[in-house]
Amino acid sequence: MYLADDHFRKAGVRDRSQVIFATPQKAIFSVDKYRRTLEKVVQRKGIEPMFRHNLIELRPDAKEAVFENVDTHEHVTVAYDMVHVTPPMGPPDVVSKSGLANEGGWVEVDKHSLQSGRFPNVFAIGDCAGLPTSKTGAAIRKQAPVLVEHLLAAMRGTTATASYNGYSSCPVVTGYGKMMLAEFDYNQQPAESFPFDQSKERYSMWLLKTQLLPRLYWYGMLRGRL
C-alpha cells in the first residue's frame, strides 16, 4: 500500500487516486510505539483507513468490494480499480486435525518452552505453532535455539531453562527508501536490536531490508548459521 502510494505519486496520478486501507483490526499496528508512526504515515500520505471492516465479498464484474463492520454488522460497498487482498490465515488440515492442535487449530505448545503439554516428545516452532505472537521468519530465528535446547534436554532426560519471549519482527516499508523495523515481544513491548529509535522511518533500515536481510535469510537463517 505504501509503495503503491509512492508509485502513484511518481507516476503523477496520486491526486486522481484514492487509497483505502480496510482491516478488521482496530488499529494500524498492535504495538503502540510503531502504531503512532504508522498513523502519521497514513495521514501524511492521505490514505483513508477503514478499521473494524472485514472483507466479505468481492464483485469482480462490478469492481466492488463489500465489507462488514465488525461491531455494527452494517455492510459497506466500496468501488475499486485495483484491490489487494490478504486472505485470512489458518492452519492446514494436517495440523488442525492431527490431535496436536489447540482450539485455533495450531499445534498446542507452551509459549515459553515450545513443548507440548499433552505429548512431551512434541515441540513446535514457526507458523504451525500455537504461539500468541506474529508469525514471522524473524520469530522462528529466536524460537529455534530454544527448541533445540529443550529437545536435547528431553532426549537426555534432563530439563532445560531456555525460554522464548514471543519476539517477532515486522520490517514495514513505508515508501521507496524508507523502512521502520518493528520488533516486539509477547507483551507488545518493543524488543529492538539497534541502539536508536526504531519507530522512525529510516533509509538505513531500507538498506537493511533490501540489501542485508535477503543475504541473512538465504545464507544465514536457512543454513542454520544465524
Ligand X SMILES: Cc1cc2nc3c(=O)[nH]c(=O)nc-3n(C[C@H](O)[C@H](O)[C@H](O)COP(=O)(O)OP(=O)(O)OC[C@H]3O[C@@H](n4cnc5c(N)ncnc54)[C@H](O)[C@@H]3O)c2cc1C
Judged by CB under 6 A, the residue of 24, 49, 126, 175 near ligand X is: 126
Backbone angles phi, psi at 201, to 5 degrees: -75, 135
CB-CB neighbours of 26 under 10 Å? 10
Q: CA 151 to CA 47: how far, in whole Å? A: 47
In terms of CB distance, is 92 or 104 closer to ligand X?
Answer: 92
CB-CB neighbours of 217 under 10 Å? 15
135 sits near ligand X (criterion: CB under 6 A): yes
85 sits near ligand X (criterion: CB under 6 A): no
136 sits near ligand X (criterion: CB under 6 A): yes
The residue with its CB nearest to ligand X is 126
Judged by CB under 6 A, the residue of 32, 46, 63, 92 near ligand X is: 92
49 sits near ligand X (criterion: CB under 6 A): no
Q: Would strands 178-184 and 168-175 be described as parallel, antiparallel, or unpaired?
A: antiparallel
Residues 64 and 80 sit within 8 Å (Cβ to Cβ)? yes
In terms of CB distance, is 110 or 127 closer to ligand X?
Answer: 127
Q: At 114, which helix (H) or strand (E)?
A: none
Q: CA 32 to CA 55: how far, in whole Å? A: 25
What is the closest distance, in whole angstroms, from the C-beta atom of residue 40 to ligand X in the complex?
Answer: 22
175 sits near ligand X (criterion: CB under 6 A): no
Residues forming the site for ligand X (CB under 6 A):
92, 94, 126-128, 135-138, 140, 169, 171
